[in-house]
A and B are shown apart, each in its own frame.
Chain A
Amino acid sequence: MIQFFQTFPLDLLLIQTVNGIVSGLILALVASGLTLIFGIMDVVNFAHGELFMLGAYLGVVVMASTGNFWLALIIATLIVAILGAALQVVTLRPLIGRDPLNTILATFGISLILQNFALWEFGPVSRKLPEPITSHFTLFYLQYPWYRIVIAALSAAIIGGFWLFLKYSKFGVWIRATTQDRVMAQAMGIPVPWVYTGVFAIGAAMAAASGVLFGPLGSINHTMGLDWVLKAFIVVVVGGMGNLGGSIAAAIFVSLLESYAAIWVDPSRAVIVSFVVLILTLLFRPTGLFVPTPK
C-alpha cells in the first residue's frame, strides 16, 4: 500500500494540475469567443482557430519590432478585432437570414484563406514567442515559471472582464437584448447589424489574445489553428452549445484530464482524452455535461 503511494507520482500530478488549469484557461478564452459568436449570432465560426493563429503571429511580429510582450498582446488583439469586424461585414452580413450552414461554409472559406496567407507570409517554419517574464518560483521540486501563472490569470481576467461588460455596460445590454429578441431590439433603436459585427470582433479579439498568450507555451505555425478550433469545438459541445459558463468549465475539465493523461502517455496521444470525453458526452448527456439538467 505504502509502496503504491511512493510510486504514485503525487507531485507530478499536482504540477500537471497547475499546467492543466493554465492551458484550460487559455482554451476557455478561445472557446468563450466561439460560444459568444455562436450563442448570439448563430454562426459557427470555423475561422476561429485561424484568428487565434494570426494573433500569435502578429504577436511575434510586434514583439520582434518592439520587444514588448504586453504591447504585442494589445496590438495583435486590436488588429485581429478590426480584421474580424471587416470579415463579418463583407462575408457574413450578406448571409444573414440564410440557412446557417451557409455561414459554416463561409467561415470555412475564410479559414482557408487566412491559413494559406499565413503560410505564404510567414513560411512553414514554426516561430516562437519569448516569455514575457522569465522568473520562476518553486513548486515542489520544480522551478515553475511565473509567466504561466500570469497568463492563466490574464485569461481569467479577460473572461471575467467580458462577463462584467456583458452584464453592466450599454453594449452588453444591447447584446443581451439582441440575443433574446432581435426584432424588438431593432424596434428599440438598437443597430442590430452592428451589434453582430461588434460581437464577432469581440470573439475574434478573444481568439487573438489567446493566441498571443499561448505563444510562449508552444510553437507557432500556420496549422495550429485547426488543433485549437477542434479542441474549442469539443469544449463547446461538451459544455453545452451557447452556454458560456459551461464552455469555461468544460475547457478546464478537458485540459486537466489531458494534462493528467500526459503523465502516462505520449502528449500527442493525450488528445484522445478529449475525444473520449466528447463521445461519452454525446452518448449520455448530448445537451452538454455542464448544463444543469437537460430540458
Chain B
Amino acid sequence: MTTAPFDKAMPLGKSKLSHTAVYWIGFGVVMAVLIVAPLVLPIFWAKFLTEILIWGLLAMSSDLLIGYTGMISFGHSAFFGLGMYGAAGALLQTSPPNLWAAIFAGLFGAACVALFVAYFSTRLRDIYFAITTLIFSQIFYVIIFTWTAVTGGENGLIFTRPHFSIPFLVDMRFNVMTMHWFVLALVAGSYLLLRRITRSPFGMVLQSIRENEARTRAIGYPVERYKIVAVILSGLFAGLAGVLYAVQNEFAAPDFVFFVTSGDTVIFNVIGGIGTLVGPIVGAGFFQLLRELMSRIFGDQFPYLIPLGVIFIVMIIFLPQGLLGFARRWLNK
C-alpha cells in the first residue's frame, strides 16, 4: 500500500536523542491518560475504553502481518476465537477459575490454530493467502458452531471471571478499574513487545518481505519460515486479545469467530493506519466511537456499517495510509 513519507529533515547530531525522548514522553502521556481514565469516566465509558484496548490489541496483532510483512489476513477471528474459547475452557475446568491457566490455554489454542493456518496459507502469495485465511476462519467457525458438546454450540460458554491471584501474594477480584489496568498493562506490554519485534533483525526481514519478496528470497532468506513465524506471533497476540475479552465479559460466543470479526480487524487497521502498531488501536477506537455515536443519534437499528463502509472505501482510495499513516516513519524509528 502506498504511504505518505514523513520526511522532515532533522539535524543529524541531535535527531536520535530528541526522537527517542519525544517518543517516550508521548508514550508516557498516553499511558498516563489511559491509567487515569477509568477514575474519571462513568462506568459505561470506562468499560468501553477497556474494550477498545482489547480490539486494539487484536488489530495490532493483525498489523504485524498487514503492515510489516505485507500479508492481509482475514483469519484473525479464528485466532481471537480460539483464545477466547481456550480461556473459557480453562476457566470452566479449573476451580477456582485460574487466570493464568486461562491465559496459557488461550494462547496455546491460538498458537495451534495459527500454526495450522500458517502451514497451509503461507505458501500462497498475496490474494490467495487472504482468501484461504478467510476460508480457514470460517472452517473454525463451523467447527465451533456445530461441536455443541465441547463449545456450547450456538449459545457459547458462560463462566465466572477469575480473580487476579499470584500464589502467596495477592488474591483479589477485578473491578472495573483494576480490570482496565490489567488489560492496559497487557496491551501496553504487547505493544512494546511488538515494537521490539518489528525493530529487531527479524522484523527487518519481515519488512523486506513486504517490500520485495522475490528479492528477499533471492538474497537467501527462508521466506516461508519467516512468514510462518509472523503468522504464529500474530496469532498469539490475537489470542491474547481473545483471552482478555473472555475474562472481561465472562462469556465466549461463536459470533466472534465469524468472519465479521476478521473483517472489523482489517477495517481498524486500514482506518488507523497500517504499519504503525498504534494506528490500529486508534482505528479500533474511531470505529467503536463512531458506532456508539451513530446508535445514540440514529437509534439502535441504524445500519451504522453503511456510512462506515463508505468511509472505509473512501479512505482506501484517498487516504490509504490511514489516520496515523503520516506518522508511520516516525513511530517506527
Q: Which residues of A contact B (CB under 8 A)?
A: 44, 91, 94-95, 98-102, 104-106, 108-110, 112-113, 115-117, 119-120, 226, 230, 233-234, 237, 241, 266, 268-269, 271-272, 275, 278-279, 282-283, 286
Name which of B25-33, B125-133, B200-208, B212-220 contacts chain A.
B125-133
Question: Given the complex of chains A and B, what is the CA–CA distance between A233 and B134 in angstroms?
Answer: 10
Q: In the complex, which residues of chain A have a beta carbon less than 8 angstroms from the beta carbon of B130?
A: 44, 101, 104
Known: A112-B263, A112-B305. A102 touches B135 (CB 8 A): no
Name which of B15-23, B54-62, B106-114, B312-320 contacts chain A.
B312-320
User: B135 is contacted by which of A44, A110, A233 (Cβ under 8 Å)?
Assistant: A233
Name the residue on A nearest B127 (C-beta): A44
Known: A113-B305, A113-B310, A230-B138. A268 touches B146 (CB 8 A): yes
Is the C-beta of B252 less than 8 angstroms from some C-beta in chain A?
A: no
**Number of A-B residue pairs with CB-CB distance less than 8 Å in the complex they form:** 99
Q: In the complex, which residues of chain B have a beta carbon less than 8 angstroms from the beta carbon of A44?
A: 127, 130-131
Contact B134 A230 (CB under 8 A): yes
User: B2 is contacted by which of A98, A116, A119, A269 (Cβ under 8 Å)?
Assistant: A98
Known: A94-B317, A99-B1, A234-B135. A112 touches B312 (CB 8 A): yes
Tell me how far the C-beta of A159 lies from the nearest C-beta in chain B, rounded to whole angstroms.
22
Q: Main secondary structure on chain B at its contact with chain A?
A: helix
Contact A113 B132 (CB under 8 A): no
Tell me how far the C-beta of A274 lies from the nearest C-beta in chain B, rounded to whole angstroms.
9
Name the residue on A nearest B146 (C-beta): A269
Q: In the complex, which residues of chain B have a beta carbon less than 8 angstroms from the beta carbon of A99?
A: 1-2
Contact B72 A101 (CB under 8 A): yes
Is the C-beta of B124 less than 8 angstroms from some C-beta in chain A?
A: yes
Contact A102 B1 (CB under 8 A): yes
Q: Main secondary structure on chain A at its contact with chain B?
A: helix
Known: A112-B309, A113-B305. A275 touches B320 (CB 8 A): no
Shortest Cβ-Cβ A-B pairs, 6 listed: A113-B309, A109-B313, A112-B309, A116-B303, A120-B303, A116-B305
Q: Which residues of B contact A (CB under 8 A)?
A: 1-2, 72, 120, 123-124, 126-128, 130-132, 134-135, 138-139, 142, 146, 259, 263, 266, 270, 301, 303, 305-306, 308-310, 312-313, 316-317, 320
User: B317 is contacted by which of A95, A268, A271, A283 (Cβ under 8 Å)?
Assistant: A95
Contact A120 B306 (CB under 8 A): yes
Q: In the complex, which residues of chain B have a beta carbon less than 8 angstroms from the beta carbon of A95?
A: 316-317
Contact A101 B306 (CB under 8 A): no
A-B contact pairs, 23 of them (CB 8 A): A91-B313, A95-B316, A104-B72, A105-B266, A105-B316, A106-B313, A106-B317, A109-B313, A110-B309, A110-B313, A112-B308, A112-B312, A113-B306, A113-B310, A237-B128, A237-B131, A237-B132, A266-B146, A269-B142, A272-B139, A275-B135, A275-B139, A282-B120
Q: In the complex, which residues of chain B have a beta carbon less than 8 angstroms from the beta carbon of A278?
A: 132, 135
Most A C-beta atoms less than 10 A away, residue of B2, B126, B128, B313 = B313
Tell me how far the C-beta of A294 lies from the nearest C-beta in chain B, rounded to whole angstroms.
13
Name the residue on A nearest B312 (C-beta): A109
User: A102 is contacted by which of B306, B308, B320 (Cβ under 8 Å)?
Assistant: B320
Question: Given the complex of chains A and B, what is the CA–CA distance between A275 and B128 in angstroms?
Answer: 15
Contact A100 B126 (CB under 8 A): yes
Contact B142 A272 (CB under 8 A): yes
Q: In the complex, which residues of chain A have a beta carbon less than 8 angstroms from the beta carbon of B320?
A: 98, 102
Q: In the complex, which residues of chain A have a beta carbon less than 8 angstroms from the beta carbon of B266?
A: 105, 108
User: B72 is contacted by which of A105, A110, A241, A283 (Cβ under 8 Å)?
Assistant: A105
Contact A106 B316 (CB under 8 A): yes
Q: What 6 additional pairs, Cβ within 8 angstroms, besides A233-B134, A286-B124? A: A98-B320, A102-B1, A116-B309, A120-B301, A268-B142, A286-B123
Question: Given the complex of chains A and B, what is the CA–CA distance between A83 and B279 in angstroms?
Answer: 33
